[in-house]
Structure 1
Amino acid sequence: MSSPSKKLCASASARTPPMKVENILALSAGGPKTPDVLRTAMAMGADRAFHIDVPESSDGGPEPLTIAKLLRSVVEKENINLVLLGKQAIDGDQGQTGQMLAGLLGWPQANQASKVEIKDANGTVEVTHEVDGGVETLRAKLPMVITTDLRLNEPRYASLPNIMKAKKKPLEKKTLADFGVEDSRRLKTVSVTEPPPRKGGGKVEDVDGLVSKLKEMGAL
């Protein structure tokens, strides 16, 4: 599934001077709509993409730990040293995958980044994120896992020439099993319900009408 945070990742990954970027791999796990999302990522700067084919289901798909294990396997096989993820998916809204991945890899992590700078060719990374009452700046060395906040940057719009080029870039369809990962689910979705509809508001003609209405509601 696409999300604003994932678009930021695609855009930010293509903007990491002064360190030379050898290759940018976009990855997403999902159903038949996922290739379109990955083509967009390649039009925004990614060099290639993996579509991890996961059947669509009503229970929200694989758990964050499963995706974290998948990403660990991809990182190890592809020799990746910087992973950018959205801070949370817009379907499950759990915000756990990045932290789990960093734990599995034993890498430093920074979460909800609003600014990312590669400081030198040795892989020093400086990450800024917002905290209560201000901002916090962290510094670490690659390899590293970073989750992004919506304030990180403005996603670049894919130009028509780049969209056409993206159609020729390699997009490989794979499964969890290709990376030695099993979709074992320990959580079961019991129910999903919409919030109750809000009651419609009303208009009052004057202050007296407002006071009368508040008394009627028991607010006065």
Structure 2
Amino acid sequence: MSDWKSDYGVSDQGAWNAGVYGTPNSTYDIARAQAETAKLQAGYSASAPTPDYTSPTFPSYSPTAAGQAYYPTSSGGSTGCLKVLLVLGAIAAIVPLLPFLLLQAAVLWSAVSQEPAALQTSHYERMSSAATALSAQPTTRLYAQYLPAATADWNTLDARQREAVAAAWIRFTRDPASFRRLAAKDRQFVFATFDGYLRHLEAAGDGHAARDRKALDDFRR
């Protein structure tokens, strides 16, 4: 029974504790050795730590805390400085262009201020079919034919002369800029007759005439 320990599940220490130092003399010796072996195994089990089969946990990581430990934090000062530099750069780029921009603005304003507000040609065409028909002729021809020796005073003009003035005004509402091509003396006379014509209509309660006379004054400046 040299391998009796393995056959009966007895350890060397269990046999030693049971007083069986060699081959057992009886089944009683084997039983005592088994009992001592069981005690030893029970003691080992009680003293061994219970294994943890749950998912492993890891310490939480805070980027902010880690960054504060090793690196300086940004307070936003660098972003503010960058914005200031960008603004200063934009100003430095614009300043040399200011004279040019101001000149362009002045030219544009001058052009806009010299053009009268939108004039309603149809409003004046409805007033007189005769004046509308005459408006097909150039302004210089109208004045040369109907007002060669007339004054600019509306009250001194006869019916035909007034039709000629109304026709010239209809032409003006269509293309105000073309009247800049008139000779200075002719332009002054024509605008004076326009002013009389519009004042006459304004006195009769024509709101369009009141507005357009203001536009004419702006154009004449």
TM-score by length of 1: 0.23
Higher RCO (CA-CA < 8 Å; seq separation 6+): 1
Higher helix content, 1 or 2: 2
Higher strand content, 1 or 2: 1
TM-score by length of 2: 0.23
